[in-house]
Structure 1
Amino acid sequence: MGKRLPQDEAELLPARVVEIFKTMGRETEIRGEQAGGGAIFARDRANQAIFVGEKVVNQKRRNLTQSLESAFSKTRRKAAGKGAKASDEAVVGIWHYRFATSSAPAVLETHWHEWMPARFANVWRVEAGKWICDRLLVNHRITHNGDFDGWTIFDDTIENAELGLWLQRVLHTPNAALGDSPKIAGMMDLLITQGMWDASLRLAYQMAVAESTRDACGGKTPTKDAPNTAPTEAQIQNWSTIVEKVFLDYQDKLLMPYANSMLELSRKHVNQFEQELIQALSQTIVCEKLAAFVKTAIHVFFHNNLYQATKLFLSRAQGSFGLVTASTLSEATLVVSAWGQPIATGFNVQDDYMVYASEPAAVDAVLSHIPRSYRLDLDQKGGEIAWVGVNHITVYSMLEDRELRSSELEERWIPLQGNSYILPPEKHAVDPVQRDIQEIPKILKSIEQSWDDPTSFNRQTADYFVELLIEKAKNLKLERVTDTPAIDLLITGVESSLWLGERFAQDLVLICPAMIVKTISSNQLLQRLQYDGSLRLGKTSIVLAISQSGQTFPTLQATNALEELRQQGNIREFFILTGEMCSLMGTAISQYYYQESSFTRRIFINGSGRRTAEPTTVAIAAAQATLTELLLYIAKQLTHQGAFGMTLSTADVLMLERMKIDFPTRAEAIVGITAKGEINRSSDYSQLIQSSKKWAQHIIEAPLVWAIHALYIVVTVGFGIPLVQTVCWIIFGFANLSIPGFLLPLLIVADILIYIFGPWLWSLALRYFQHRPLLARTGKRSVLIGDAPWIHQLLRCYVSKLFSLSYGIASLEVHGGNPQDHMLHHYGHRVVRGSLIFLGIPDGRRSPMQKESESAIVMSGKQAIGVQNLSTGAEIIALGHDPAIAHQSFQAAIVLSSSNLDASCDRQIALEELRESRFTGFERLLASYVFFWAMAKQVASFPLLQYQHWKSQSRTRIMTTAAPVSRATVDRSKRSMERSEV
């Protein structure tokens, strides 16, 4: 929303605004890009304010931002051709990207939404102390992130489905949309009434006279077949005529002297007007509630503009809302609301425009390079409603039931330049996965430097974290007297964040066996907080929540609940680990981001920032490295205390420190680039790239063979030269012989067989020349990834996302398992000729325990090889550090370089287990990232079957859909905690 500039000329949507949309769209796509819509304000030939809008359902391999603008630009040109012209008041654009939840992707279900189409109405307004009545085109539209569960009216909460049936009757307008959000549009049509007597009387009847939704359905429960007994449009028009007649008599008395708005009223004359209306309507409406009906109608006539209607809606709504409401009656303002869903607003002071987005990074991407630009994040926890214009904003707090003062807002403005809390936006890359992999060494180096600096945010947080652990250790004996002692540390997150947290928890217990450390998914945590007290959280418990984006929906909701518990004293402290300092989770724990704000010492930052690639690499690497730094820092500080049964000596910690210092160099060799960005084509990197090529050839074999066979048919049929017959004609021709008659049918059969079995024959030939197994099954391949649980889980998600947009003819099915546990039991019966198995093997040279692990995994691999048919079975690539794996009868082995062995390590099993989980296992993970990226890159580049391997169809990079428990209430959380206190 901004002022129209001279260079904008007559364009409905100026080119500069289109570029702003594209920038913000690219950042918002990670929340889902199944469908999208855009709308702008314009003026028609009669100078009436109108919406011009378009919606699209994105095709599987298309980019939503590009698809939407392509369609929307055509719509704007058509509208201009029909006489639409730009609005002089402001340039206003509203866009929404959708990830379907309550209904399947369809144009009808895509936002924006309207319930009633544009219609003309008499609209009263006040200008220079005078009443003016205009005949205006009325149209309201909304966009909505979140879930609309129900609305309270008639002293009852009406669920979404029933509400829709009721709205169809009350508004006398059907609506075929199945989703929840269209009902919000219907509610806006009902609630926006300022200056319109017909709309005011319709709303007043439902709020003051009707007693239930049944009143609009002939006394029956609302169903599709129920009759419509709501006041008819003719009845409402009749009432409106009576009311307007009285209003015309009173209008000059109702306003205060020199009034500039219809809210500046004379209470005395309003009361007289009310009594006169009751008298006038009593002859038409026989109703005990007539006085309440008239009082309500007068109130909503004067007050219910776009802003007040949104406040009324949210005050009675249930669900979560990132809501934007717009109306042709207020074309220079919007109302944006955040309650359980994020909304960020940004203001460019020098160029007089504002932007809003559900993704704060979208605001940053537009404004971060512009001086005097600021961001204001609405409080989604307590709920806030912002009435915004080009250069002004009014914010209403739902929690405090008041509008915030300017001074309160000033404290929350986030400057976007020179702010150490704000990272610069991610630069565009043709291949974001490759870019992320190549940045791993640089990020690892920056993490190391951060933890070496005692004044860094991470060190400040770590110092506080360790202080709490030391405090707990001193009181350990007192706390352990009960049968069920409270948890010392609870770690929560979802998916990748949770898996990393689980591994960190295992390692922490390894070095501190007396510490009680538990992990739980954020979704389960929310359920437990509400419905049972089995978490065993106590007043001394510490909680760590992990989320790369800092806004993963269940983890963010858990953050809100846990922060309440901390403030109530039900847990000792709450920490978060995110990709960057400025996040919604940070805001939830009262970390402010203006330059003078103090640091809470409760946020760990992995420094990877915001990443758009769905197959995540650098974010995982950064989180793993940060947790390693935290683990070693805890070990260093607690070793001297002897706390929690510490198993490591000072010498052990120093050895782990040396491993940590050496790790960035190892990472450089694996990913093929240094921390400074210099190419480093090491033997490790070369092995990975070369090995990936053969597996990529497996995947693209089917389309390549199809192309060869298609070419064969074109040549042999098109030119009439079937292969076998032609070869025989040539041979017999050179010998001056004629082909025997009995041989001709056989030659024809041979050509027919080639047409039928040609693809398989070409496959054999192709495999022969590429030195690949001849008798593997043809068609779609499957890969089984076997490694430690946290590694195979991460890789299964990574690889499946790399191939999520691949074509069925050149695709890959991905599975994962623990080769030391359940892998063969789950997948042994599914091994067929040509199955691909990728085994990560620990370095058995390091300790007897690691040797046993290596032997167990090698045994699993050999057992898989034993499942054969036609002397052909699975194809296995082993990845590890021990050169011995190259001699284990696997089809290929990638042996990563390693440091010299230290014989003294054999005496410390815990130390070697930590080396495996924090470093050598991490190296295998990085190597696997490179291997599968190179493989996917080759498949994604195949002619005519190209796809973007760095994204999926829906683009859900950030988990934004509701958790099983949308918001854990403070009261229930408190009760659960009271039951579980020790």
Structure 2
Amino acid sequence: MCGNFGFLGKRLPQDDAELLPARVVEIFKTMGRETEIRGEQAGGGAIFARDRANQAIFVGEKVVNQKRKNLTQSLESAFSKTRRKAAGKGAKASDVAVLGIWHYRFATSSPPAVLETHWHEWMPARFANVWRVEEGKWICGRHLVNHRITHNGDFDGWTIFDNTIENAELGLWLQRVLHTPNAALGDSPKIAGMMDLLITQGMWDASLRLAHQLAIAESTRDACGGRTPSKDAPNTAPTEVEIEEWSAIAEKVFLSHQGKLLMPYASSMLELSRKHVNQFEQELVQAFSQHHSIGQWSARLPNFVKTAIHVFFHNNLYQATKLFLSRAHGSFGLVTASTLSEATLVVSAWGQPIATGFNVQDDYMVYASEPAAVDAVLSHIPRSYRLDLDQKGGEIAWVGVNHITVYSMLEDRELRSSELEERWIPLQGNSYILPPEEHAADPVQRDIQEIPKILKSIEQSWDDPTSFNRQTADYLVELLIEKAKNLKLERVTDTPAIDLLITGVESSLWLGERFAQDLTLICPALTVKTISSNQLLQRLQYDGSLRLGKTSIVLAISQSGQTFPTLQATNALEELHLQGNIREFFILTGELCSLMGTAISQYYYQESSFTRRIFINGSGRRTAEPTTVAIAAAQATLTELLLHVAKQLRARFPAHQGAFGMTLSTADVLMLEKMKIDFPNRAEAIVGITAKGKINRSSDYSQLLQSSKKWAQHIIEAPLVWAIHSLYIALTVGLGIPFIQTVFRIIFGFASLSIPGFLLPLLIAADILIYIFGPWLWSLALRYFQHRPLLARTGKRSVVIGDAPWIHQLLRCYVSKLFSLSYGIASLDVHGGNPQDHMLHQYGHRVVRGSLIFLGIPDGRRSPMQKESESAIVMSGKQAIGVQNLSTGAEIIALGHDPAIAHQSFQDAIVLSSSNIDTSFDRQITLEELRESRFTGFERLLASYVFFWAMAKQVASFPLLQYQHWKSQSRTRIMTTAAPVSRATVDRTKRPMERSGSR
């Protein structure tokens, strides 16, 4: 879960002599803030500069972020010092270009450490003779050679010697071949080692070393004395002295041929005369055959020479990256940079995203794993464009300040300019691109307050027949109508295929599961299943029991549109769709422009057509980890879809049973429609603000804030008591006035008496007891004045959230993330369960004095089924209260719509306002169950968001213990690497790319 980003542009006159101009620092900060959601454990940055000898050098810094610090600020603080120190030692800005590469890391293959943090290099900077072609002439110079990489993804292995060498073995082999040890444990450092091996253009020593491995060596054992690579295996790879001898021979022959090798008017060393290269090759074979060790290779010598010459002329940064990826296994968002090419970068996307963006008017480009980072920099600048590399087929881009060459791994060719032009995404006036999220001091509060506005925009979108959502929904309905007509024919088989499969992970999956249950309630004959994206990936590869057929429809849900397992499942399912193995494939995301959208061939340039396969919830990109508005928007969108499907199917099949055994009448659908229309007003009352942004301090909102204060007081009790007791000790000990003794001295002093000798030891003992048990005594006093239970346990509290499965799962994640950065002395443990099922069995034995239980209770006034549910939950609550010690047990807050819950002996009850209730119970059970899942349960969820946010806000504001409640330490807002299923689980094919040598 990592992120690459960077900048490459011309140096402007106003940049002065700064190694990294101030304008680029601001671009770094903008992109860094957007990339933090991919991981904030550690980060590194590097730029090009020139040393006193005018050699190109890297200046870089890495940091491991502290738990409650911001990585962007921490990295720039450290990096700026490093740049100043480098400037003090004579480093000066490169006049060729301004180039910066950055990487943010979430540790996967190795723990967070500076050594494991990107950028990575294997071999340190070293001098080498490097040949170049300038103005049609060969020039040899002594250059400082250094290659660095940043990588997002997983590097599993590399194919050489007709075998795939796994990462760990590859590292041991590289240490011997390169004669450079490397202590890093991660997979990415091995990529840096491969770049040191593969970048050979213009360098005879590097070219001959690589040629030996490609054409002479037969296995990794050759470099390890015939043994399997291990830490204690010997190094029998060609020594540096041997390679110097070979280089001297090659250099001598090369000098005798160099004048003939280039084509007339050649501008690079790739423009060669094939005839003269062949002559050079033959003479070099003859020269090497005279060498005492090389001459023994006989039959393999010509291939060795041919390979060495080829990589000497061709293997620049770009070609070396192509060669590496042609044999690599894993997923790669890869950036490679070299001091030999300080005005260009190579960025690659294969199984991981890379977006590039170009600012035409200011002559610079940016790139990022997170497309929003590119948008944040360029969206306000005229004539700016974004190009997303194809991560599915694999693309490698060689980029300069104002040019880009893109190589397609799938098609094994460089794409034409006209092909790239069709893919440029304009960032201004593009209805497919949402503006970047504005910065907020409290993103959770901002997200909650925007819920009414987003719900209103969703409603307007679905009311518009031409909107993207309606177009997609109408297409889905067409497919369902077609399926309903053929229902009897399809059910003839013993194991009918799934009609609709819904997939996602975590919150997206839980919402999908509830949607599937509700759709099945409406259409019992429709076979609807749900599965996590990780399980789907595994079963697509190894298990044929998914029951997907040629008539099956699949819906994948991901708020970000790039959650790794769901994105990889999207790629696999789209392949099934293209092959005709499933009928259709839809996605639901937070915004139209997403990687999942790209995966199903939705393009985002202004003239592109809409695929009618994407649902958009309109919440956009959200950086707060405790997610609220994204969940609300997805729930509302799925409700709109559910009602649209029900309405259209009922209209198309008006008979009593309708399509798929439909259980709702036209009147029922209209009643649900009315509930949906009323819901935004209820949301405004709950979150305390209207869709237009006006404050609405309703009774619901005020109740939630008031009730949250007491639980917040429970959490901050320990640090507050600690502070009081510390002050007590400081005063009584510091001033030498023990409290009890001082009081008695004052009392006896008024009577002009001294304290009796027998009483003094007792007073001293009393003072000692206060010092020992003071925190508990202060707790009792504090609880008394705050009207909280006196005898609850002191210390860390536990919260158990009891509600319907989809609600308590969402809230458990939400609350735990709100407190993920809280200090241990002011924190809480979070659990969840279904109070109608297993909650008491799971947590009843763990109830202690002061346990906090938050119960969401359905409105029992609505139907007999809801009444039974309410009674069951109330019973669970009362049973929890019954677990007592010292006449004290759990503290329960009940949340619901029925005023009766306020009279159930719970410590607190939050009764949300509701419309008038018809108590006749003559309405359809299905209708009331849908009311509960789509609306009243949704209201409880929104109310819980406000309650726990207010509680966390108060805890996070406690002096000296402040923390950012809207994020976690690692900032894993999006799962962007295997989570936990690897991308390799899904079969993938690629065409072989041009390779040097036979192995």
Bin for the TM-score computed over the shorter chain: over 0.9
Give the CA deviation at 1:872: 0.2
- In the alignment, the residues of structure 2 paired with residue 964 and residue 399 of structure 1 have an alpha-carbon distance, to the nearest angstrom, of 26
Contact 2:326/2:993 (CA < 8 Å) preserved in 1?
Answer: no
Superposed, which structure 2 residues align to 1:801-816 within 5 Å? 801-816=817-832
Task: Measure the CA separation in 2 of the matches of 1:217 and 1:907.
Answer: 79
* SS of residue paired to 1:92: strand
Does the CA-based 8 Å contact 1:102-1:179 persist in structure 2?
yes
- Cα distance between partner residues in 2 of 1:105 and 1:249: 52
User: So what's the TM-score if we normalise by structure 1?
Assistant: 0.98
Find the aligned partners of 2:581 and 2:985 in 1 and give their Cα distance: 14
> What SS does structure 2 have at the residue aligned with 1:525?
helix
- What's the offset of the Cα at 1:258? 1.1
State yes or no: 1:242 paired with 2:249.
yes
TM-score (norm 2): 0.97
- Which of 158, 163, 166 is the aligned partner of 1:156? 163
Deviation of the 1:960 alpha carbon:
1.1
Q: Does the 8 Å contact 2:537/2:985 carry over to 1?
A: no
1:760-779 matched pairs, under 5 angstroms: 760-779=776-795
Which of 820, 842, 851 aligns to 2:858? It is 842
Deviation at 1:817, TM superposition (A): 0.1
Q: Write the deviation string for residues 649-688 of structure 1: whole angstroms up to 9, x where unpaired.
A: 0000000000000000000000000000000000000000
Change (3 A) 1:735 1:741: same
Deviation string for 1:791-841 (max 9, x for gaps)? 000000000000000000000100000000000000000000000000000
How far did 1:71 drift? 0.1
Structure 1 residue runs of 5 or longer lacking an equivalent are none
- Contact persistence 1:121–1:138 (CA under 8 A): yes
1:246 CA drift (Å): 0.7
Task: State how far apart, in whole Å, the 1-side matches of 2:513 and 2:590 are.
Answer: 18
Q: Secondary structure at the match of 2:983?
A: coil
Shift of 1:855: 0.0
Please give the per-residue CA displacement for 1:354-411, whole angstroms capped at 9, x wherever unaligned. Answer: 0000000000000000000000000000000000000000000000000000000001
Is the CA contact (8 Å cut-off) linking 1:558 and 1:968 kept in structure 2? Answer: no
Residues 213-233 of structure 1, C-alpha deviations (whole Å, 9 max, x = no match): 000000000000000000000
Kept after mapping to 2: 8 A contact 1:732/1:739: yes
Q: In percent, how many aligned pairs have the same letter?
A: 93
State whether residues 412 and 993 of structure 2, in contact with CA within 8 Å, keep that contact through their aligned partners in structure 1. no
Pair 1:785-2:801 in alignment:
yes
Query: CA 1:673–1:536 in 2, change beyond 3 Å: closer, same or farther?
Result: same
1:91 to 93, 98, 117: 98
Post-superposition Cα deviations, 1:86-114, rounded to whole Å, max 9, x if no partner, equal 00010000000000000000000000000
Shift of 1:965: 4.0
Does structure 2 retain, via aligned residues, the 8 Å contact 1:493–1:520? yes
Alignment partners' CA distance in 1, 2:763 and 2:493: 89
Within a 5 Å distance, the mapping from 1:875-954 to structure 2 comes to 875-903=891-919, 906-954=922-970
Distance of 1:46 and 1:558 partners within structure 2: 52
Q: 2: distance between equivalents of 1:516 and 1:125?
A: 66
Q: What is the CA-CA distance between 1:697 and the residue it aligns to?
A: 0.1
Contact 2:332-2:350 at 8 Å conserved across structures: yes
Q: Deviations over 1:453-504 (max 9, x none)?
A: 0000000000000000000000000000111100000000000000000000
Whole-angstrom CA distance in 2 between matches of 1:704 and 1:720: 24
Q: Deviations over 1:848-904 (max 9, x none)?
A: 000000000000000000000000000000000000000000000000000111356
8 A contact 1:37–1:110 mirrored in 2: yes
Residues 772 and 674 (structure 1), Cα distance of their counterparts in 2 relative to 1, 3 Å cut: same
Does structure 1 retain, via aligned residues, the 8 Å contact 2:538–2:985? no
| 1:728 shift after superposition | 0.3
Distance 1:529 1:235 in 2: 51
User: Matched residues in 2 for 1:131 and 1:107: separation?
Assistant: 41
SS of corresponding position for 2:286: helix
Contact 2:409 2:991 in 1 (8 A): no
Q: CA deviation at 1:969?
A: 7.2
Alignment match, 2:457: 446
Q: Which SS does the other structure have where 1:889 is aligned?
A: coil
Q: Does the C-alpha gap of structure 1 residues 466 and 771 become closer, same or farther in structure 2, counting only changes over 3 Å?
A: same
1:906, CA displacement in angstroms?
3.3
Aligned-partner Cα distance in 2 for 1:428–1:462? 33
Displacement of 1:642 in angstroms is: 1.1
Partner residue in 2 for 1:134:
141
Q: Is the 1:529–1:976 Cα contact (8 Å) retained in structure 2?
A: no
Could you say what secondary structure the match of 1:62 adopts?
coil
- Alignment partners' CA distance in 2, 1:970 and 1:978: 25
Alpha-carbon distance in 1 for matches of 2:462, 2:918: 27
CA 978–488 in structure 1, closer or farther in 2 if over 3 Å, else same: farther
Query: Per the alignment, do residues 359 and 445 of structure 1 end up closer, same or farther by CA in structure 2, a change over 3 Å counting?
Result: same
Are 1:579 and 2:594 an aligned pair?
no
- Displacement of 1:737 in angstroms is 1.0
Contact 2:154 2:331 in 1 (8 A): yes
CA distance in 2 between counterparts of 1:451 and 1:570 reads 30
Give per-residue Cα distances to partners, 1:563-590, cap 9 Å, x unaligned: 0000000000000000000000000000
Corresponding residue number in structure 2 for 1:44 = 51
Q: Give CA-to-partner distance per residue, 1:897-920, whole Å, 9 cap, x none.
A: 001113566330000000000000
Kept after mapping to 2: 8 A contact 1:786/1:840: yes
Give the C-alpha shift of residue 974 in structure 1.
16
Could you say if the C-alpha distance between residues 976 and 794 of structure 1 is closer, same or farther in structure 2, counting changes exceeding 3 Å? Answer: farther
Cα distance between partner residues in 1 of 2:667 and 2:544:
42
Q: C-alpha separation between the residues in 2 aligned to 1:442 and 1:223?
A: 61
3-state secondary structure, aligned to 1:742: coil
Task: State the partner residue of 1:704.
Answer: 720
Q: Distance in 1 between matches of 2:564 and 2:265?
A: 50
Q: 2:432, 2:604 within 8 Å by CA — same for their partners in 1?
A: yes
For residue 976 of structure 1, report the CA deviation from its aligned partner: 25
Matches within 5 A, 1:404-803: 404-638=415-649, 642-803=658-819
Looking at structure 1, the residues matched to 669 and 244 of structure 2 have their Cα atoms a distance apart, in angstroms, of 83
SS in 2 for 1:657: helix
Looking at structure 2, the residues matched to 507 and 61 of structure 1 have their Cα atoms a distance apart, in angstroms, of: 41
Q: 1:436 to 1:979 in 2, by over 3 A?
A: farther
* C-alpha contact (below 8 Å) 2:395/2:409 kept by paired residues: yes
- Aligned residues of 1:533 and 1:976 also touching (Cα < 8 A): no
Report the alpha carbon displacement of residue 510 of structure 1 after superposing the two structures with TM. 0.1
For 1:256 and 1:488, how far apart are their aligned partners in 2? 64
Per-residue deviation, 1:641: 8.6
Distance in 2 (alpha carbons) for counterparts of 1:741 and 1:964: 72
Kindly provide the CA deviation profile for residues 248-293 of structure 1, in whole angstroms up to 9, marking residues without a partner as x. 110001111111111111111111111111111111xxxx311111
Secondary structure in 2 matching 1:239: helix
CA distance in 2, matches of 1:976, 1:691: 64
Asked if the contact 1:526/1:968 (under 8 Å) is kept, the reply is no
**Structure 1: how far apart are the matches of 2:920 and 2:387?**
57
Aligned residues: 978
Asked whether the 8 Å contact 1:941–1:947 carries over to 2, the reply is: yes
Distance (whole Å) between structure 2 residues aligned to residue 978 and residue 180 of structure 1: 25
Query: 2-side partners of 1:446 and 1:268: how far apart?
Result: 69
Distance (Å, rounded) in 2 between the aligned partners of 1:680 and 1:460: 35
Query: Secondary structure of the residue that 1:907 maps to in structure 2?
Result: coil
**CA deviation after TM superposition for structure 1 residue 2, in Å:** 0.6
Q: Are the aligned partners of 1:150 and 1:159 in contact in 2 as well (CA < 8 Å)?
A: yes
Q: Secondary structure at the match of 2:922?
A: helix
Gaps spanning 5+ residues in structure 2: where?
1-7, 291-298, 650-654
SS of structure 2 residue aligned to 1:122: strand
Counterparts of 1:215 and 1:752, CA distance in 2:
75
Contact 1:799 1:814 in 2 (8 A): yes
Contact 1:113 1:141 survives alignment (8 Å): yes
Distance in 2, Cα, partners of 1:304 & 1:391: 23
2: CA distance, partners of 1:329 / 1:368: 33
**1:546-605: CA deviations, max 9, x gaps?**
000000000000000000000000000000000000000000000000000000000000
72, 86, 96: which one pairs with 1:79? 86
Cα-to-partner distance string for 1:18-48 (whole Å, 9 max, x where unaligned)? 0000000000000111000000000000000
SS in 1 for 2:9: coil
Aligned-residue Cα RMSD (Å) equals 3.3
Q: What SS does the corresponding residue of 1:54 show, helix, strand or coil?
A: strand
Q: Residues 734-779 of structure 1, C-alpha deviation per residue, up to 9 Å, x if partnerless?
A: 0111110000111111101100100000000000000000000000
Q: CA deviation at 1:971?
A: 6.0
Give, in angstroms, the shift of residue 961 of structure 1: 2.1
Q: Shift of the alpha carbon at 1:128?
A: 1.1
Query: How far 1:966 moved relative to its partner?
Result: 3.0
